[in-house]
Structures are given as structure tokens and as C-alpha cells.
Structure 1
Amino acid sequence: MSGKQINTKMQEGAKEFQNLHNNSLVLSEDSILSEYFITMMNKIFDPLPVPFILLDKDSRVRMINQVFADYLGFSKKEIIGKPVLEVDKYSRFPYVFKTKKAEIAWKHTFENGHTAIVHRLPVLDENGEIKYGVGMVLFEDLHQFRDIIEKNKLLETELYLYKNQLKEMHGAKYSWDNIIGNSEKMSAAKFIGRRASQTNSNVLILGESGTGKELFAHAIHNDSVRNFSPFVKVNSAAIPSELLESELFGYEEGAFTGAKKGGKIGKFELANGGSIFLDEIGDMPLKMQAKLLRVLQEKEFERVGGNNIVKVDVRVIAATNKDLRQLIDEGKFREDLYYRLNVMTIEIPPLRERHGDIGELVSILLNKLSNQLGKYVSNISENAMEHLIGHSWPGNVRELENVLERAINLTDSDTILPVHLPIYLKQHTRRIVDGPIRPLKDIIEDTEKEALARCLEYTDGNKLQTAKLLEISRSSLYDKLEKYGIS
């Protein structure tokens, strides 16, 4: 069957399916997967050479066309009515049903060893609840997929290059919506940031590592009149001092050994008309500070090895986690540069000064990390949250994200418990408000859970060895594991 014939069949099938689905709405809720409906689905999709499967809300297979059954190596009778994990233990449909989000063009290896590109689509009712799920195989093996990639290799390469150039030149990805927190200090920082975005003045962002200084820089650029112009990022501490000048201002051909033919433009030229984000400005060498000062004053510079003046219109957003006034006193930072940068100053509060934002941050980070890790964890126990709120967070939001990622990897349920948190975090927790001392029973249970989890981790899950190390019977170990929900 030709590609055109397949496309025609698919369109006819889709039209029939839509009519069938619309007509089924007048039936009872349970009749959506009735025998009549399944019979019609078989009539529509069995002739198609595209593997297709239909699941009910309990993840049981209600319909599969012949080509998909053949692909899996079973008869249709062996598949219909079974939970999808019994047909393919690697299926991600249970996770799709939990998240209620479609997975489009995913690479998937089936239990029989076949690797394919698949769609998984949850279908929701008017209340947002799962009604059924639809799966399709786009490419039955990766050879088909690779052939298409090879045929379009030149176009793909060009698109890749253009995409990376645009990403470098228009790299601002975040907005004010990405900055979480409504505590008094964070609200004040966002207020000043929004005001700064409406001007062309230079901005200096101060804050400890992990507080979100780069997020503010992105948001300021995206909310400014320069938002359609380049946003270029430079980490002053990450570039060797001997290369920093050529990186910022470019160089002419033959300027030094190893210089590219034709020279190279620098970050300031790339950012012309837009914004440049100079992170870790406190680590910039004094020699470079002098040249940067000239750019801020005169809006011009010379490339390394060149004599021509290059004029630029760039808005500078600088950030540092260091005390610039102290660096000035030590002779490590120019005072005149400080006053040039310190026009609009934003001080981002550390996480320990905005404990009221932790709950919202945890919720958003759990959702983000669950999607990244492919493991759905949406809840955190009250005791575990107390530990998070009571911690001083020297690493700020970055540390909180790392702690939550570790906890997601350790838990076997959809809930994070104190046992899944690092020991250092629980040992140094301080109470934010006065309250009654916790019952001794709760303290003992937390300690017991922590000991079990640590020992299992040490023995790589060997329960017999774990029981011996803890000097308890094996049956007692199993009882405790069941009690605390530890797998």
C-alpha cells in the first residue's frame, strides 16, 4: 500500500472514528467502550497498516488491530482484556494516565526487543478524568526512522545550525512567571526588576549562589523593549582571564597564534541592540574591568589586534554573589565601574529569608522533576515538609531542587517521606515557630525508617544481609518494610 493510500485510509478512519465518538456521547457513560463501539473500531482500524491500540481507563486492552498484534507476536485473543503491563511490561501508559499528558514520537523498546517510535494519547472526559487511551506506532523499527533522517540530513543540519545561532542570539528563555515566590522580600525584588525592565539603564543583580540571578536577567530582558533583540550570556568566572577579552570583544585575523581566519566577533557585537548578561562580574580581572568601563561610557571598543572602533548599543545586566564594596576596599574591583553598573540594583533574598515560598517551590519543582525523571511523585508528608521549612538552605533553590530529585529517586510511592531526605538536612533542622515537642513514638519511627533505608541502600537491596546487619529477624524486617512503605 502506497503512502498516499495509507494517508487516505487514515483520513477515512479518523472521520469514521470522530462520527462514532460524537454519536456515542448520547449513550451511557460506560457504553463508550461497548461491544458495538469495539466492533466499529475494529472495522475502522484493522485494515490500516499502522499499529493501533485502545485501552480503557483501567489500562486494560479493549481493542488492538491485527498489524499491532502481529508486531507484538501475540494473537488478538491473547491480548484483549489484559492489563497493558501484562502485554508489554515496559509500557508507559500507566504513567501517561497519571500525568494526563500525551507522549508524542517517543522511542520505545517493547518486551519482544523491537524498538519503535510511538504515540501515547490519553483521552479525557469533560471533567478532566481519563476516559481511555490510544496508542500508535509511527515507525515499526528504527531503520525506517533512520532512512527518513538520512534523506533529510542536509535540511536537518541546516536547521540545527540556524537553531543554535538563534538560541545564542535570542537566548532569553524565562519570564516573571518562572520566578516563584510571593514573600515580602521576593515581591520587592520582582517589583524593582519589573521597573528596571522598562528602562535602558544598566542593572546589577546581587544574591547568593542558587537564588535565581540568571532567571531575573532573562525576565528583565524579555519584559523590555529589547525582547526581540539578542540576549547573550557570559560567565566571567568560567572563561580564563587570557581569553576573556577576545571572548567579549572579538579579535582580528592574525591577532594571536591560533586566531581564526577572518577573525571573530565578540559577545558584545552579538548582543548589539539587545542585552548582555555578565554573570559573576566580581570575578572579572581588573584589566578587563577598565575596558568594560569604556564600553559602558562610550558605547564603543576595539577588537583584539584591531584599530577600528566598533560602536554598539547594548544594555548590561551584571550579577554577582560577592560583596563588591568589600572588593573595592581590597582593590579588586574598580569603584568607577561599580557606580556605572549600580544604577538599578536588585537584591535577591536567600531561601532562608523566605520560608513562606518553600511550599509553592516544592510543588512546582516536584512537577518539573517528575516530568524530567519519568517518575510521578506529587506529594510530600507533613513531617518531611517541616524539615524542608526548617532547613537554612545555604545552597538556596538549587540545593532544594537537588534534595527533591534525590528524594524522588529514593521513594517507591508518590509521596516523599522524611526517610527520603538527606541526614544532614534533618540533623540541622531548626524550628521556625515554637510548638509542642514531637511525641517520642514519632521520633523513634523516623529514626527506624532512616536506618532501614540507609541499610538497604548500603546492601544494594539485599534483605537477608540487611536483617543481619540490623540484628533483627527476616520476618521482622519484612513487617517493618511494609509498615513504612519501603520497597
Structure 2
Amino acid sequence: MNASAHKHENVVKADEDTLLTEYFVSMMHKIFDPIPVPLIMIDKESKIRMINKVFADFLGLAKEEIIGKPVLEVDKYSRFPYVLKTKEAEIAWKHTFENGHTAIVHRIPVLDDKEEVKYGVGMVLFADIENFKDIIEKNKLLENEINLYKSQLKEMHGAKYSWDNIIGNSEKMAQAKFIGKRASNSISNVLILGESGTGKELFAHAIHKDSARSHSPFVKVNSAAIPSELLESELFGYEEGAFTGAKKGGKIGKFELANGGSIFLDEIGDMPLKMQAKLLRVLQEKEFERVGGNKIIKTDTRVIAATNKDLKKQIQEGSFREDLYYRLNVMTIEIPPLRERSGDIESLIQILLKKLSNQLGKYVVKISDNAMKILMSHNWPGNVRELENVLERAINLADSDTILPVHLPVYLNHSSRINIDGPVRPLKYLIEDTEKEAILRCLEYTEGNKLKTAELLDISRSSLYNKMERYRIT
């Protein structure tokens, strides 16, 4: 083939490419003109080959004035020549056009198989920067609202406490925590035993939070606080019309809420026998029916139960099912009472003082030696809950950053001196002990100021002197 033939072939090919390009651009106009989003297409020479009507109107020009011109003649601030040169897209850039409008734009280079630039596509995301800011603010508000709801949902149906919240290094408490942590790593049911106020609920929270179910719900039910006739519907829910007063659409039960997570059944020893039978079926079959319904609902819920009752004694008396006891009694944790771990009392006091001071807004973080002796000598039948109540009362009464004996309940001193197993002392002497204790504490509080002591005790100064002489208080 001679040179003229080659030249003719190249001209024909160029004409075909031009026709194809013109056809392509024409199709682009037809496709993108109706779209309400501003769009533009630039060739590799930075000339505008297509712009839709919305974009032309945004620039304040007719399409005919724009197409075919270099982009810098239409908008001298355009970064398209730079984008085509670097071959790197600019996504969501803030750009101020020559007409003064500020917008958020995309600039995207389109490459061929050889990584060469074919053309560039531009898009205006937000024609008004203020609208963009408004959307951002609304999204922030929405995100904050979602986070708030998530937080509230977690608070309602999530574990709040971890092992760090359980204070105590005594041998018995260390043993209880050891078993609790092992229970966290298992899928078995857990039975927590302990006197009232020992922290059974804290252990339940910590077990769930440390388990593989920690991201699933943790639902609490107090078996003693719910009337027996309502307990079934509370645990398993009910269908619409199941009974008079039933909500429209029915109600989901605690076991459904806890699906995939854990349910904490506190005061399990107070659960009626009828409900014990239904609970046993859930533990055995992993299924239940709503009240008034006949649909079988499957559940994957771990049961953590707790009680301050002697379940073995209740079994003998016939008030607790033996088969349910053995279903629950897989991982058993016995929490020692405070009187059996007196070595933990001082550290508990310091932590509770800090916690309560923050809650009450009063800086009371110290305790006098005499006050500490009184607290250490008490038997604490109410366990940690009683200790917390005593400290809260003391903080409210304190006028400085230190708790003194005068801020503690009078009964604490007597409890360590009176032998409850021996004969009861006459009431006269108990009253005298109380009166003497009150005067001593008040004198300590007023640093020996008898006038102020009499005023605080609401008695005359002469009466105070008489009582001091009677009780040999110097």
C-alpha cells in the first residue's frame, strides 16, 4: 500500500472517530440534560464537550456559549487542567466559581486502557455551601440522637458493672470472683447465692459484661417485686386480647428481649411454684409461648439467677422445685457477707466515700480514726448496702471533709458492745448508753464547747452539766 492510501485510511479513521465522539457527546446531552444535578464533561485538551442545562444556569450562561470553549475561559478558577494532568480525582472539594457561587464539587479524570486521559467529568454536589453546612449540622444532630438512643438502650438493657466495680481481696471474695470469671467464659446457667446487700447483682452484671454475650441485651427481672399473676406475662409476653386490659398488638416478654444475651432473675427463691415449672421448660427446651398465644418462640438466653434464700431448705419444705434447682445450680457462686471479709471494709469505705461524694456533690473523703474503729467493729448484717447507707448519711451530716463518730448512727456503737445472744439489758440502761454516747459525740464535734453542745442537743447548759457529771464525762 502506497503513502497516499495510508493517508486516506488515516483520514477516514479520524472522521470515524470524530463522528463517534460527536455521537457520544450528543447522547450525553440527551441523557444528562434532564438530570437536576449540575454535570460537565471536559476532553483531554480541557475543552468543554458537554454541560447540562442545570450547570449552565448555575454559571449564568447559555449552553451554546460554553460548549467547545476551554474550561478556564468559562471559569478561570477551575482546577480541571490540573486534575487531567495529575490523573487524580478530587472528591467533595470546596470551589468558588468566577460568578462568586461557592459549592462542593467532584472532578474525576476518566482513563483508557493505557492509563491515558480520555476526558474528565465534573459534578456539583451542593450548589449552595450554606445548604451543605445545614445538611452536615442535621447529620451531626441525627448522629448524636442515635448515639443517645444507643446509650439509653444499653443502659436499659445492658450490663453497667464490671469486675473492677467489685471491691475486695479477701480470700473468700477472691474465690467468688475467680468462679465468676470462669462462669463468664462458659455458656452454662449461673446461680449466685448470698445475703441481701452482698452484691449479687454486681456479679451478674460483671459475668455478662465479661462474656461472649456482652454486646447482646442484659435484662433484669426481680421475681419478688412483680405480682405472681403478672410474672408470666412479664417474662414471656402476651398476645393481643390475651386478657382484659392487654395492650393492642400484645407485648414482648423479657425472655424475647434478652434473646442472644442474658437474663438476670433476682430473688429466684420467691418465684411461685407455677412459674418455676414454666421456667424449667424454658431451660430444658429453649422455647416458650406467649400468654394467650400458641406460637412456639425459640430463645437463646443465658439465665443468671440469684437469691438470699436457702434453696435446699425450700426444697425440703416443698416451696422450690428440686429439678429447677439442679438446672440452675450449674455454676454456683457464693458471695461472702461483709462480716466474713472484714479485711475489705477499709478499702470499701474509701471507694464508697469517693463515689458518694461525687453523687452528693460534697467533698467528704476522710474518716477519723475513732469513726473508722466504730465502722470496723460493727457486724454489718445489711452488708455492703448497709455500709453505703451509713456513709451516705454521714456525708450529709458532715460539715468538713472528714467523717467523725458524731456523724455515724448511734446503733453502730451499741451493736459492737451488746451481746445479742446473752440476756437483754434493761431499757433504762440502753437509754442511758444512748444519751451518754450522744453527749460524747457532740462534745467531740464541738471540740469541747459546752454551750454549743447544749444548743445542738436542744437542752439547757445546766442540764448538760448534770448529765456530764452523772455519766462522769470530763
Fold-level match, TM-score > 0.5? Answer: yes
For 2:278, which of 287, 291, 295 is the aligned residue? 291
Q: What is the rounded CA distance, in whole Å, between the counterparts of 2:380 and 2:169 in structure 1? A: 18
Q: What is the rounded CA distance, in whole Å, between the counterparts of 2:299 and 2:215 in structure 1? A: 17
Report the equivalent of 2:156. 168
Report the equivalent of 1:387. 374
Q: Which runs of 5+ in 1 are unaligned?
A: 1-151, 432-443, 478-487
**Equivalent residue runs for 1:169-318 within 5 Å:** 169=157, 171-318=158-305
Report the equivalent of 2:440. 449
Q: What is the rounded CA distance, in whole Å, between the counterparts of 1:309 and 1:362 in structure 2? A: 50
Within the alignment, does 1:416 sit opposite 2:403 as a pair?
A: yes
Instruction: Tell me how far 1:197 sits from its aligned partner.
Output: 0.5
1:279-306, CA deviations, whole angstroms, 9 ceiling, x for partnerless residues? 0000000000000000000000000000
Q: Percent identity among equivalent residues?
A: 73
1:50-73, CA deviations, whole angstroms, 9 ceiling, x for partnerless residues? xxxxxxxxxxxxxxxxxxxxxxxx
Tell me how many residue pairs correspond in the alignment. 308
Distance 1:315 1:430, change over 3 A: farther
Report the equivalent of 2:393. 406
Q: Normalising to structure 1: TM-score of the pair?
A: 0.59
Q: What is the rounded CA distance, in whole Å, between the counterparts of 1:272 and 1:445 in structure 2? A: 59
Instruction: Tell me how far 1:374 sits from its aligned partner.
Output: 1.1
Instruction: Tell me how far 1:400 sits from its aligned partner.
Output: 0.3
1:65-120, CA deviations, whole angstroms, 9 ceiling, x for partnerless residues? xxxxxxxxxxxxxxxxxxxxxxxxxxxxxxxxxxxxxxxxxxxxxxxxxxxxxxxx
Report the equivalent of 1:353. 340
Instruction: Tell me how far 1:237 sits from its aligned partner.
Output: 0.4
Q: What is the rounded CA distance, in whole Å, between the counterparts of 1:364 and 1:464 in structure 2? A: 31
Q: Normalising to structure 2: TM-score of the pair?
A: 0.60
Distance 1:462 1:385, change over 3 A: closer
Q: What is the rounded CA distance, in whole Å, between the counterparts of 1:352 and 1:192 in structure 2? A: 21
Q: Which runs of 5+ in 2 are unaligned?
A: 1-139, 419-434, 469-474
SS at match of 1:429: helix
Preserved CA contact (<8 Å) 2:454 2:460: no
Q: What is the rounded CA distance, in whole Å, between the counterparts of 1:215 and 1:412 in structure 2? A: 32
For 2:331, which of 344, 347, 351 is the aligned residue? 344
Runs ≥4 residues deviating over 3 A: 152-166, 444-449, 451-455, 459-462, 464-467
Preserved CA contact (<8 Å) 1:391 1:430: no
> RMSD of the TM alignment (CA)?
3.1
Letter in 2 for 1:176: W
Q: What is the rounded CA distance, in whole Å, between the counterparts of 2:233 and 2:452 in structure 1? A: 51
Q: What is the rounded CA distance, in whole Å, between the counterparts of 1:268 and 1:464 in structure 2? A: 55
1:125-168, CA deviations, whole angstroms, 9 ceiling, x for partnerless residues? xxxxxxxxxxxxxxxxxxxxxxxxxxx99999887665543433
Q: What is the rounded CA distance, in whole Å, between the counterparts of 1:215 and 1:460 in structure 2? A: 44
Distance 1:256 1:179, change over 3 A: same
1:414-454, CA deviations, whole angstroms, 9 ceiling, x for partnerless residues? 111112111110111269xxxxxxxxxxxx99764325589
Letter in 2 for 1:241: S
Preserved CA contact (<8 Å) 2:184 2:207: yes
Q: What is the rounded CA distance, in whole Å, between the counterparts of 1:470 and 1:343 in structure 2? A: 67
Letter in 1 for 2:440: K
Q: What is the rounded CA distance, in whole Å, between the counterparts of 1:401 and 1:280 in structure 2? A: 21
Q: What is the rounded CA distance, in whole Å, between the counterparts of 1:201 and 1:287 in structure 2? A: 24
Report the equivalent of 1:466. 458
For 2:306, which of 312, 316, 319 is the aligned residue? 319
Preserved CA contact (<8 Å) 1:200 1:315: yes
Letter in 1 for 2:441: E
Preserved CA contact (<8 Å) 2:410 2:438: no
